[in-house]
Amino acid sequence: MAVCAHCGAEVGVASTGGAEFCCRGCRAAYSLVRGMGLDQYYRRRSIDPTQRPLRPDDEAGPVDYSAQVHPSDDGIVGLHLMVEGMHCAACVWLIESILARQPGVIEARLNMTTRRLVVRWRDGETNANAVLAPVIAIGYRLQPYDPARLGRESERVEKELLRAMAVAGFAAGNVMLFSVSIWAGQSGSMDWVTRSLFHWISALIALPAVVYCIRPFARSAFSALRAGRSNMDVPITIGVTLASAMSLWETMRGGPHAYFDAAISLLFFLLIGRYLDSRARGRARSSAEHLLALGAVTVTVLDGDGTRRLLPPEQVQLGMTVLVATGERIGADGTVTDGQSEIDTSLITGETVPAPVEPGATVFAGTLNLSGPLKLEVTAVGESTLLAEIVRMMEVAEQGRARYVAIADRVARYYAPVVHLMGLVTFLGWEIFTDTPWQVALLYAVSVLIITCPCALALAVPVVQVVASGRWLRRGILAKSATAQERLASVDWVVFDKTGTLTEGRPELQAGHWTQEDLRQAASIAAASKHPVARAVARAMPDVPVADDVREVAGCGLAYGDIRLGSRQWLGLPDDPAEASGPELFLARPGHPAVRFGFRDPLRADAKDVVALLKHKGYRLTLLSGDRRSVVETIAGDLGIDDWQAGCKPADKCARLAALAGAGHKVLMIGDGLNDAPALASAHVSMSPSSAVDISQTVADVVFQGHLLSPVIEALAVARKAGALVRQNFALALGYNLLTIPLAIAGQVTPLIAAISMSTSSVIVISNALRLSRGRLW
């Protein structure tokens, strides 16, 4: 079987119970490979970077990946594959580094949780087979991306752990019966012949069980050693092997120091801990992985002659007509052409109330059709769907490298040499400076090897990130930046935009002194914009064609030749207190007086409650709006925001944010994404309310869905709690090591207690992180 190029774990055997746990051992050797350099690494592994990709387990010949390539209009082509045999972050680093060195490659990203590999390169400079050749040459298997494969490996590993755990438990129980008899006979009631007989019976039970049960650890350890590296399974394998070999030697010579019970019990509790760790990880499993499962459905395609075909989503093409029966998940993005129903959009918006749809409505892959059959015209498939876009954002959030990850990496980097040195020093110290028998000193060294495993430290950050991202997703919150959670936790000042943020963003056109011709011309220009006020004008006359060559001036309005549709300030019109009753646009044409369009934009239903809670939690609040002073003053007064500024252009908002940052404040900017783009980009962290179709277009770090403002509270609360849990996990992990390592060196911890302690520390860290997924935080 192929092996992991960095840690030596065999493909298909997650020998440490999960990708994250194995990652710590590889990160211990990470610095060695980095210092060696990839060129020298190629030479050591006899890799030819120019060879064609071959199947590691198939003699059928080269695999052609060109059919999986996705071209784009900008001359950049991409490839989405799934990597099999990747278990750790060090493997992620290795694969990304190798791909980044290939000619023409501009991006290579591999997500450890979903195992999705995304490679993009300049068309014409290279091809898919040449790019992927070095990765396949070092033993990884690349498959077309299939979400159904994601859970198979963890299921296989858990079954193997269960079988090994059952064997170890049965053997440990039987060996313990003989051990209790030996312990009871130490007072002199048992002669050496009977003791030796019991030792031999224990050996006959324990040694075959040890050989069988140590396989998940030994395979990884031996493969790592063959590659000239170490991982965390090496000391475990060494410890169990030494204890078993010493016990067999003592039994053969009739000595008293046989510890078969310790060896098999140690394995039993290590396997229990590893299995519980794997199950706990399953509860915190990537939300992106769960999302991908929602997209794996069969699509019913209607042909022109009325016949039906069942196709997998990846074979559906744009423009096809598909039928979605009641109770089915939608397999592709599309527009409703026939039928009426209600759609469960909680996946997209976080809201549990079904959304009614009718002909002309847009629906998205992964949502659930509840009440009636629908016919759809497909508008996006595969990696172009909204579901795929959300998954990509989730992957970015879950694999973010915050400063705590860097700390854990630096600590884990020195794990391998330090733990082996500590075990050796413990053995030599007890053997040289005390009268302790060497057999007992060896058991003390085994305890040190087992108890120093830094798995809890390795889990301190990633498990919290995954749980926090999952909770955000359930509330309709999506992170587009890998460090958004960490930056949100440090926020002390919140700056709001008004239109589309504090208000609903769907202003309605009010009656005024304008004609149908005025409205027709304004609607034609406004249809080219996505600003909420412009959309309201377009909705008032939806059949008007969209004007060509409309230019949008951020924070001001729209320009169409000599015609302007925009704000009073931009057009140089004087203030009129009699018209200061809400949002407005003016249509200015040469030779005609300016025409005013007035709008009403109500506050979001929970805006007052959200603002009050933020103030109660100690946040400073500011309202910056490009609207007129009278309108902004009214909104600020209704919400209780004392610090507000009207008539702000994008440059004014950026200047205010820079001033706050210069005073040492960490500012959260919340804006509607388009005209607030400069301010969103310049803030310490930013959020944007966005409809589903706008998710990939906003520059904000975090996007939230739905008609309420409460996701702002949820995002801040989760970020603060996540930061606190990370610090708690670090304290638990470091406290565990500071407490147990001295006790193990001092001979106060047996191998059995070491195994229980090491496994328990990992489960405690994961359980602590899972508290984030339940209950109210504020």
What CA–CA distance (Å, rounded) separates 548 from 560? 8
What's the CA gap between 703 and 478, in Å, rounded? 5
Say if strands 643-645 and 620-624 run parallel, antiparallel, or are unpaired: parallel
Residues in a beta bridge with 309: 301
Evaluate the CA torsion angle 453, 456, 461, 465 in order and state its sign: positive
DSSP E strands in 195-267: the ranges are none
Residue at token pair 């387990």: 57
DSSP conformation letters of 333-388: EEEEEE--EEEE-HHHH---SPEEE-TT-EE-TT-EE-SS-EEEEEEE-GGGSHHH
Torsion sign (Cα): 733, 738, 742, 745: positive
Catalytic residue among 333, 497, 627, 676: 497
Closest CA to 391 of 489, 281, 319, 296: 296
For the four alpha carbons of 25, 28, 34 and 39, in that order, the dihedral sign comes to negative
Task: Please state at what angle helix 192-213 crosses helix 233-252, rounded to 10 degrees.
Answer: 150
Instruction: Output the CA torsion sign for 736, 739, 743, 748.
Output: negative
Contact 207, 258 (CB under 8 A): no
Q: What's the DSSP call for residue 17?
A: S
Question: What whole-number distance in Å separates Cα of residue 761 and Cα of residue 273?
Answer: 9
Contact 247, 258 (CB under 8 A): yes
Q: Which of 481, 509, 532 is nearest to 673 (CA)?
A: 532
Helix (H) or strand (E) holding 637: helix 629-639
Query: What is the phi/psi pair of residue 86, to 5°?
Result: -100, 120
Q: Are 698 and 688 in contact (CB under 8 A)?
A: yes
> Alpha-carbon distance 96 to 6, whole Å?
13
How far is Cα 439 from Cα 233, in angstroms, rounded to an integer? 22
User: CB–CB of 517/431 below 8 Å?
Assistant: no
Return the bridge partners of 79, or none.
Answer: 69, 119
666 exposure class (CB count in 10 Å sphere: 0-12, 13-18, 19+): middle
Q: Is 497 annotated in the active site? A: yes
Of 572, 438, 554, 415, whose CA–CA distance to 497 is shortest?
A: 554
Q: Which amino acid appears at position 771 of this protein?
A: R
Cβ distance 452 to 419 under 8 Å?
A: yes
Q: Assess contact for 280 and 767: CB atoms under 8 A.
A: yes
Containing H/E element for 509?
Answer: strand 508-509
Catalytic residue list: 497
